[in-house]
Structure 1
Amino acid sequence: MSSAVETPWPRAVAVTPLADFQLRVRMHDGRTLFLDLSDLIARRDAYWRLRQSRYFRQATVDELGGICWPEGEDLCPDGLERYRCEPSTPETSMDQSAL
């Protein structure tokens, strides 16, 4: 993401997929949010691809500060707070060995 883009909403600048359909998101203002997407993924058919951990790990930040995946699933930047949760203990990043 280009940090030169100024927006009136809070925006993500980095995302790290974690276990149990959670994300660690670093925001432009320095805050770190932990998001739990498990309920969203279970309820919404539009997010069916995210049920596969290999695909879930492909989360990236789009140019407007939202979270997105390769086939078009996305979370708008001003709606990220609604998925906020406490971090899992211990915090476990989904690396390549987490298959």
Structure 2
Amino acid sequence: MNSAVKTAWIKAASVRANNHFQLHLTMEDGEKLDLDLTPLINSREAFWRLKAFRYFQKVSIDPLGGLCWPEGEDISPTKMLDYIKR
């Protein structure tokens, strides 16, 4: 998804779910990032649905470049950078 909304941050352009709570992102500037959402999913009760891989893989990008799921779970574009896999 490539949103026309202009922001002060670089937005995610595409996302792909991998096994074990991992996401592969391509940012709008072409940078590729791997995220590990394990700490978030295990520590926040609001993200309980993401423990099911069939649901986890329904991740998409919201208009501001953050991550979102069908039932309302979301991660802001700036907060998702906290989960970069190093």
When normalised by structure 1's length, the TM-score is 0.82
Q: Deviations over 1:10-67 (max 9, x none)?
A: 2101000001100001101110110000111011000000000100010001111000
Q: In terms of mean alpha carbon deviation, does 3-12 or 44-53 score higher?
A: 3-12
- Residue 83 of structure 1, CA deviation: 0.0
1:85 aligns with 2:85: yes
Find the counterpart in structure 2 of residue 89 from structure 1: none
1:59 aligns with 2:62: no
When normalised by structure 2's length, the TM-score is 0.94
Identity %: 48
What is the alpha-carbon distance in structure 2 between the residues aligned to residue 11 and residue 19 of structure 1? 23
What is the alpha-carbon distance in structure 1 between the residues aligned to residue 2 and residue 23 of structure 2? 21
Q: CA RMSD in A?
A: 1.0
- Residue 78 of structure 1, CA deviation: 1.2
**Large movers: runs of 4+ above 2 Å:** 1-4
What pairs with 1:19-98 in structure 2 (closer than 5 Å)? 19-86=19-86
Q: Runs of 5+ in structure 1 lacking a partner?
A: 87-99
Q: Runs of 5+ in structure 2 lacking a partner?
A: none
Matched residue of 1:77: which SS? coil
- Aligned residue pairs total 86
1:45 corresponds to which letter in structure 2?
E
Q: Is the 8 A contact 2:3 2:65 kept in 1?
A: no
